Amino acid sequence: MPQTQVRRTTTEPRESLTVFLLGVRVNALLRPRRWMWINRAFLAMSSELRADPALGLLHERVLPSARGVTAVQYWESTRALMDYARRATHSAAWQRYLREGGAGAGVWHETYEIGAPQSERAEQGAGYEAVYLNMPDHGLGRALGTVPVDRSTRRALDRLARRRTRGGTGAGAAAAAPDAR
């Protein structure tokens, strides 16, 4: 266990970095065959990232809870994160989740760009994006409300680049579309 520092410290400034929150919420506690594979896939991805610092993950902290797990990850850049999302380990798990319909567990993530704009068309975007699958209202979605994912918001990069307009997102839009999770 790391020693607690009794002095006051801070970090050195960076041009930019990306904070990525992701998690799994078990929806079928009594049917572990429906969700245990997600745990194994999560551990495989975490091991792969720790083994190769060139992939861009700076640090990860995993926070278990009664019904799932949340990971807080710090990435060198949004590009590094998106490149990892296209690697075989992640792609295979994501495709399996979509194919099986996520019957046993919900998954979610929130991406926050800190500092200089990083994503494609970033000057148009808000610097964050989120997606929730088979989840109750959670995190940023609970704070701001949710809207259905459509063709223009299917990809994380598209959500990052989306311009926020008054009345176009948030709790008011979520109230108009109550099943938008």
pLDDT at 144: 94
Give the pLDDT confidence of 66-93 residue by residue, as tens digits.
999 999 999 999 999 999 999 999 999 9
Q: With beta carbons less than 8 A apart as the criterion, state whether 156 and 129 touch.
A: yes
pLDDT at 120: 58
Q: With beta carbons less than 8 A apart as the criterion, state whether 24 and 39 touch.
A: yes
**CATH number of this structure's domain 16-176:** 3.30.70.100
Q: With beta carbons less than 8 A apart as the criterion, state whether 28 and 105 touch.
A: yes
pLDDT at 180: 35
Residue written as token pair 């990892």: 84
90 Cβ contact partners less than 8 Å away, ≥ 6 residues apart: 45, 84
Q: With beta carbons less than 8 A apart as the criterion, state whether 35 and 28 touch.
A: yes
pLDDT at 122: 53
Q: With beta carbons less than 8 A apart as the criterion, state whether 58 and 168 touch.
A: no
Q: With beta carbons less than 8 A apart as the criterion, state whether 130 and 109 touch.
A: yes
Residue type for 92, please? A
pLDDT at 121: 52
pTM of the full structure: 0.82
With a cut of 70, list the residues of the chain below it in pLDDT: 5, 116-126, 163-181
Give the pLDDT confidence of 14-35 residue by residue, as tens digits.
888 999 999 999 999 999 999 9
Torsion angle, CA of 28/29/30/34, rounded to 10 degrees?
50
Q: With beta carbons less than 8 A apart as the criterion, state whether 108 and 135 touch.
A: yes
Cα-Cα-Cα-Cα dihedral sign, residues 72, 120, 80, 84 = positive
